[in-house]
Structure 1
């Protein structure tokens, strides 16, 4: 099983990474971490460093990847969801594990969109959502 774990720097995304690491070990799979951003910054480096710490603690030899998408200026969470789906297609992932911040109001969904919702709606691969 090839598992993709997008991280955004939030605690919930790192909980998703911990869950995915346990899942990978249980099912003898492989795991890949990606952070999607519109530009690399000090924050990007901090996110990658924290993801590396989790991977090392779990004994996983993978290097988190940073995907730069300069078109994230309009409805960024929907665009990030689309980028995740592109990675699933191009690299043949079998499963996606994502954290979700739990915003459920109609206003938040209408204005912000959701990368998780975009990936779930596509129904391309199984998705585990970690609250």
Structure 2
């Protein structure tokens, strides 16, 4: 199976950049288009005015700037491998759902995501974006651990 559209969610961690490396290798083999995304998680209490009235919020704008930097770092890693990528900053309240929506939007046939491999109480309290994506999408998911 050749993967034509690969979605790579990042969060700036070493684990997510391990997924970038794996996605780059796959893209070179299959000639795939790569889309890199990161989600700005909007807390409805903090971001109420931002969401409803399109007002600015310093905290959100700083987070947006940081995410843009992470997306550019990922893009540079792909560029170093000779690959051009599209980057997208997504916004929403549920990170995994925004990633699934993006996969549908670009017709992704593979999601390559890093996982920190948390277990036990850490997984229970912190959750797992990768685990939630696995449970809610029909798109194949490659989970990369560092």
* TM-based fold match above 0.5: yes
TM, length-normalised to structure 2: 0.77
RMSD: 1.5
Gaps in structure 1 of 5+ consecutive residues: 72-78
> What are the equivalent positions in structure 2 for 1:11-22 lying under 5 Å apart?
11-22=14-25
TM, length-normalised to structure 1: 0.85
Gaps in structure 2 of 5+ consecutive residues: 42-59
CA distance in 2: counterparts of 1:33 and 1:52, whole angstroms: 8
> What are the equivalent positions in structure 2 for 1:80-91 lying under 5 Å apart?
80-91=95-106
Is the radius of gyration larger for structure 1 or structure 2? Answer: 2
CA distance in 2: counterparts of 1:113 and 1:40, whole angstroms: 25
User: Which residue of structure 2 lines up, in the alignment, with residue 7 of structure 1?
Assistant: 10
Asked if the contact 2:5–2:106 (Cα under 8 Å) also holds between the matched residues in 1, the reply is no
Aligned pair count reads 122
What secondary structure, in the 3-state scheme, does the structure 1 residue paired with 2:86 have? coil
